[in-house]
């Protein structure tokens, strides 16, 4: 068997997918895996997070579509759009290379579901196509129902009109819940611009996402980075009615239960030894993922709140934005805070001193927090962040959204106080612990996620 895997090389999609592929490669050792991804993304996942791969995985680079000597504008979406223009040609070429190198035809195609064109490639090769949905399943549903959502809400919200109503987005309507099967817990405001474009502009990225709903429904098997136990029932029923094999294999980037650290674990960032010196459940861990840069004004408010409240904090903050911190902040907070350019996040969240995670609500961050039973303070920024924050704060009730949607000194201080000191915080913590237990049970032998993974291995190796 020779399984080809197509990765979407942005955000943390490729990292999540290679983690799944590693688990599959260990479970199906006779199967050869070819992992196709851009060189930049391959370099970043294999230098930072993964040092060695099972022998039955080979990686291949696909062209990223960036013209030679291209000058970037600074907008992160530019890279995505250049890459999209290069598809599917780049993947087809790398696929030919993989067949030539291994001497084996492809028997199954696993792909990040964002790359919906992969369905046609599998069809043309007459092989099974198994898309993997990396974000939360609620967001898949927003793509399946994009047309219905636009028809329902675009006009009533004034989207798609010219100047007269362009700025008049109806705030009250934005706060209405969605009348879409399985999505009644979400608000219109939670929808990313790719689903409901606020300025009526389609982009190559929104077009790509727009095709997902139709294409993915042609798949017989769909893999989800999620647990059956965490769905609202109507969403699970609706998705099951569309896919004969809906495989909720659990959080694919994580080992459940999280491995306990051997005493010899290298602590190159110093985060873990610093956490060792703090009291249990007192530290606020702060990180906004790999893409988001928070505005300078909000960074100042956040920093002032941390300084004044004297909350112990560990802040993962890239070097290039540190000059946005208030003058002298780092020196004045050395006794109760630590700022690092990169933190071993899963280990930080697993540490007993960590009391709360201040996050942008990227799916991986939310999953890692749940897996370690850590409550969240949510400041969503882009893509599916708002939708994830809604689930965290209002549906699972395992965190708090920041007051007014942006960091202010008083809002940050209030949220920290509530989660770390108050009864409400204690209740939030016990709910996230309960969800962690559900997830652990589903990942144990005989649990739903374990069963779904076994089915995936069977589907993938079916001749
Ligand atoms: N991450 C990390 N250390 C850091 C910052 C981020 O290990 O200092 C990891 C984090 O554990 C998560 C990923 O980067 O797995 C961020 O993914 P997420 O989906 O939360 O956000 P994105 O970067 O895609 O916006």
Task: Decide if 238 is catalytic.
Answer: no
Looking at residues 223-232, what average pLDDT do you find?
97
Distance in angstroms (rounded) separating the CA atoms of residues 365 and 376: 10
* Position 49 confidence tier, pLDDT thresholds 50, 70, 90: low
**Are the C-beta atoms of residues 395 and 403 closer than 8 Å to each other?**
no
Residue 139 CA to ligand 1 center (angstroms) comes to: 19
* Position 166 confidence tier, pLDDT thresholds 50, 70, 90: very low
More confident residue, 429 or 164: 429
- Give the dihedral sign, CA 278/280/284/286: positive
Closest CA to 110 of 254, 221, 208: 221
Determine the atom of ligand 1 nearest the C-alpha atom of 365. 20
More confident residue, 309 or 382: 309
Domain with CATH 3.40.50.2000 in the chain: 2-256+445-461, 264-441
- What is the side-by-side order of every strand in the sheet holding 221-224? 57-62, 32-38, 2-6, 108-112, 129-133, 221-224, 245-248
Determine the atom of ligand 1 nearest the C-alpha atom of 316. 8
CATH superfamily of 2-256+445-461: Glycogen Phosphorylase B; (3.40.50.2000)
Q: How far is CA 359 from CA 98, 286, 319, 443, in A?
A: 39, 6, 18, 25
DSSP string, 368-401: HHHHTT--EEE---STTHHHHHHIIIIIS--EEE
Distance in angstroms (rounded) separating the CA atoms of residues 461 and 463: 6
Distance in angstroms (rounded) separating the CA atoms of residues 59 and 5: 9
Instruction: Output the pTM of the full model.
Output: 0.92
Neighbouring residues of 250: CB distance < 8 A, sequence distance ≥ 6: 225, 226, 227, 256, 439, 442, 443, 449, 450, 452, 453
270-281 burial: b if 16+ Cβ within 10 Å, else e: ebbebbeebeeb
Task: Decide if 13 is catalytic.
Answer: yes
Distance in angstroms (rounded) separating the CA atoms of residues 190 and 321: 28
Percent of all residues in the chain with a pLDDT value above 70, rounded to a whole number: 94
Distance in angstroms (rounded) separating the CA atoms of residues 262 and 270: 16
pLDDT for residue 426:
95
Distance in angstroms (rounded) separating the CA atoms of residues 437 and 318: 33
Tokens of 158: 């004034």
Determine the atom of ligand 1 nearest the C-alpha atom of 344. 7
Neighbouring residues of 3: CB distance < 8 A, sequence distance ≥ 6: 24, 31, 32, 33, 34, 106, 107, 108, 109, 110, 460
Give the residue, by CA position, lying nearest to ligand 1 atom 22: 289
Tokens of 166: 């362009």
Distance in angstroms (rounded) separating the CA atoms of residues 406 and 294: 10
Q: Cβ(189) to ligand 1 under 6 A?
A: no
For residue 122, is pLDDT > 70? Answer: yes
- Residue from 2, 112, 143, 360 carrying the catalytic annotation: 112
Give the SS3 label for residue 129. strand
Q: Cβ(385) to ligand 1 under 6 A?
A: no
Cα maximum dimension of the chain: 64
Q: Which of 201-210, 222-231, 276-285 has the lowest mean pLDDT?
A: 201-210
Q: Cβ(359) to ligand 1 under 6 A?
A: no
For residue 367, is pLDDT > 50? Answer: yes
Ramachandran class of 334: left when φ > 0, alpha when ψ lies in -120 to 50, beta otherwise: alpha
Looking at residues 65-74, what average pLDDT do you find?
92
pLDDT for residue 161:
41
- ipTM surpasses 0.90: yes
pLDDT for residue 134:
96
φ, ψ (nearest 5 deg) of residue 62: -110, 155
For residue 77, is pLDDT > 70? Answer: yes
Distance in angstroms (rounded) separating the CA atoms of residues 461 and 239: 24
**Are the C-beta atoms of residues 411 and 298 closer than 8 Å to each other?**
no
pLDDT for residue 5:
98
Distance in angstroms (rounded) separating the CA atoms of residues 37 and 4: 11
Tokens of 463: 């001749």
Residue 243 CA to ligand 1 center (angstroms) comes to: 30
203-242 burial: b if 16+ Cβ within 10 Å, else e: eebbebbbbbbebbeebebbbbbbbbbbbbeebbebbeee
The 3 state secondary structure assigned to 140-179 is HHHHHCHHHHHHHHHHHHCCCCCHHHHCCCCHHHHCCECC
Closest CA to 383 of 10, 1, 115, 68: 10
Q: Cβ(11) to ligand 1 under 6 A?
A: yes
pLDDT for residue 3:
98
Determine the atom of ligand 1 nearest the C-alpha atom of 12. 24
Neighbouring residues of 428: CB distance < 8 A, sequence distance ≥ 6: 375, 397, 398, 399, 400, 419
pLDDT for residue 156:
66
126-145 burial: b if 16+ Cβ within 10 Å, else e: ebbbbbbbbbbbbbbbbbbb
Residue 360 CA to ligand 1 center (angstroms) comes to: 10
Q: Per CATH, which fold does 264-441 belong to?
A: Rossmann fold (3.40.50)
Distance in angstroms (rounded) separating the CA atoms of residues 364 and 349: 12
For residue 413, is pLDDT > 80? Answer: yes
**Are the C-beta atoms of residues 372 and 349 closer than 8 Å to each other?**
yes
Q: How far is CA 7 from CA 87, 169, 245, 391, in A?
A: 12, 36, 21, 26
Q: Cβ(290) to ligand 1 under 6 A?
A: yes
Give the residue, by CA position, lying nearest to ligand 1 atom 11: 345
Q: Cβ(365) to ligand 1 under 6 A?
A: yes
Q: Cβ(12) to ligand 1 under 6 A?
A: yes
* Position 159 confidence tier, pLDDT thresholds 50, 70, 90: low
Closest CA to 376 of 295, 256, 287: 287
């Amino acid at each position: 068997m020779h399984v080809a895997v197509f990765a979407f090389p942005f955000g943390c999609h490729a990292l999540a997918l290679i983690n799944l592929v590693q688990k599959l490669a260990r479970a199906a050792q006779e199967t050869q895996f070819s992992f196709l991804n851009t060189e930049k993304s391959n370099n970043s996942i294999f230098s930072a997070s993964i040092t060695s791969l099972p022998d039955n995985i080979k990686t291949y680079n696909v062209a990223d579509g960036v013209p030679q000597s291209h000058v970037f504008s600074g907008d992160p979406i530019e890279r995505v759009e250049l890459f999209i223009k290069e598809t599917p040609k780049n993947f087809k070429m790398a696929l030919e290379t993989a067949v030539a190198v291994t001497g084996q035809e492809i028997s199954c195609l696993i792909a990040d579901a964002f790359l919906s064109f992969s369905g046609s490639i599998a069809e043309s090769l007459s092989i099974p196509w198994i898309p993997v949905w990396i974000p939360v399943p609620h967001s898949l549903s927003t793509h399946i129902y994009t047309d219905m959502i636009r028809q329902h809400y675009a006009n009533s919200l004034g989207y798609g009109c010219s100047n007269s109503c362009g700025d008049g987005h109806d705030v009250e309507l934005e706060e209405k819940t969605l009348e879409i099967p399985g999505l009644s817990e979400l608000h219109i405001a939670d929808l990313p611009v790719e689903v409901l474009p606020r300025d009526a502009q389609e982009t190559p990225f929104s077009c790509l996402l727009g095709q997902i709903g139709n294409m993915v429904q042609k798949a017989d098997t769909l893999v989800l980075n999620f647990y059956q136990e965490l769905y609202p029932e109507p969403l699970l029923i609706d998705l099951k009615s569309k896919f004969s094999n809906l495989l909720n294999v659990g959080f694919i980037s994580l080992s459940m239960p999280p491995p306990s650290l051997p005493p010899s674990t290298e602590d190159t960032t110093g985060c873990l030894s610093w956490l060792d010196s703090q009291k249990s459940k007192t530290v606020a861990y702060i990180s906004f993922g790999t893409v988001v840069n928070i505005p300078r004004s909000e960074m100042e408010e956040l920093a002032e709140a941390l300084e004044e409240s004297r909350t112990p904090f560990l802040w993962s903050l890239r070097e290039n934005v540190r000059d946005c911190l208030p003058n002298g902040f780092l020196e004045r907070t050395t006794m109760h805070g630590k700022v690092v350019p990169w933190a071993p996040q899963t280990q930080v969240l697993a540490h007993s001193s960590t009391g709360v995670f201040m996050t942008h609500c990227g799916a991986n961050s939310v999953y890692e927090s749940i897996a370690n039973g850590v409550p969240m303070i949510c400041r969503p920024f882009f893509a599916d962040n708002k939708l994830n924050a809604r689930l965290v704060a209002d549906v699972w009730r395992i965190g708090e959204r920041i007051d007014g949607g942006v960091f202010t000194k008083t809002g940050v201080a209030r949220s920290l106080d509530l989660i770390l000191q108050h009864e409400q915080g204690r209740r939030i913590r016990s709910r996230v612990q309960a969800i962690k237990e559900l997830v652990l049970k589903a990942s144990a032998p005989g649990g739903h996620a374990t069963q779904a993974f076994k089915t995936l291995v069977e589907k993938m190796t079916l001749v």
